[in-house]
Amino acid sequence: MSRDTRFCPSCGTLNEPDAAFCGECGRALDPPSGWNAPRTPGVASPATQPTGFDVILLRTGGKKIQVIKIVREVTGLGLAGVKTLVESAPFPIKTNVSAQDAEQIKAWLDALGATVEIRPTGTVRRAS
């Protein structure tokens, strides 16, 4: 790789040296080494953005049996264990999953009227 190109770690393409974003995938490219760009306060850098998410069932809604079926499919637990968990909501259904998987699980349960929350892995909700 020559010095007048920038490598995108996401998709592996080479970009122009002055490019701020990858031309292929659109990901923001890291600044060249030794370059100290001012950071915008409150904006997370790509290295600090969460990669794993927890899906938490807060309430089952009116279709408890269908919610039990979905939770059983997602977790792989037995019927008795899932029933106990669903009745004792709130609880994490799945932990440390990708954002796509978390959104899919949430969509399935939202369609049944359940209340679901997605949190970055490792975050603890404080009682207010």
> Is 0.75 topped by the overall pTM?
no
Q: Show the domain range for 91.
A: 53-120
Q: Are 26 and 81 in contact (CB under 8 A)?
A: no
CA distance 24 to 12: 9
Q: Are 64 and 109 in contact (CB under 8 A)?
A: no
Question: Would you place residue 2 in the very low, low, confident or very high pLDDT band (cuts 50, 70, 90)?
Answer: very low
CA distance 124 to 23: 37
Same domain? For 27 and 64 the reply is no
Judged against a pLDDT cut of 70, whether residue 44 lies above it is answered with no
Same domain? For 63 and 104 the reply is yes
DSSP secondary-structure letter at 20? S
Nearest by Cα to 67 from 51, 48, 88, 82: 82
Q: Is residue 41 part of a domain?
A: no
Q: Which pLDDT value is given to residue 128?
A: 45
Residue % of the chain over a pLDDT of 90: 19
Q: Are 123 and 117 in contact (CB under 8 A)?
A: no
CA distance 12 to 25: 10
Same domain? For 65 and 109 the reply is yes
Question: Would you place residue 47 in the very low, low, confident or very high pLDDT band (cuts 50, 70, 90)?
Answer: low
Give 113-128 pLDDT, tens digit per residue.
999 999 888 766 654 4
Same domain? For 65 and 30 the reply is no
Nearest by Cα to 110 from 68, 67, 49: 67
Structural domains of the chain, count? 2
Q: Which pLDDT value is given to residue 116?
A: 92
